[in-house]
Amino acid sequence: MPEPTFTKGQRVYHRQLKRFGTYVEKSWTSGESIVDFDTDDDYEDCLRITTAQLVPAEEAGR
C-alpha cells in the first residue's frame, strides 16, 4: 500500500493517538513524518510519528 502524502501546513489527525496537528515534513526515516500536535498551552509538541497513522483532518471530522 502506498504511503499517504501530505503537504507542509496541512491539518492532519493521528488515528492511534486521537490527536489533531499540523504536518511539518517527511522524516529522514522511511515511513515517518514530523507533526506539530495541538496543545492547550501553546507548547510546541512536534513528534516523529508513523505516516500511515495519519489522515487529513477533514476525514476525521474537523
Whether 53 is covered by a domain: the verdict is yes
What's the rounded Cα separation, in Å, for the pair 40 and 8?
A: 22
Whether 23 is covered by a domain: the verdict is yes
CB 13 within 8 A of CB 1: no
Q: What is the pLDDT of residues 13-55, one digit of tens each?
A: 999 999 999 999 998 888 999 999 998 777 778 899 999 999 9
- Is 22 strand, coil or helix? strand
Give the number of domains in the chain. Answer: 1
Whether 42 is covered by a domain: the verdict is yes
pLDDT at 54: 95
pLDDT at 1 over 70: no
* C-alpha 35: how far from chain center: 4
pLDDT at 44: 74
What's the rounded Cα separation, in Å, for the pair 52 and 62?
A: 19
pTM of the model: 0.85
What's the rounded Cα separation, in Å, for the pair 3 and 15?
A: 15
What's the rounded Cα separation, in Å, for the pair 31 and 44?
A: 22
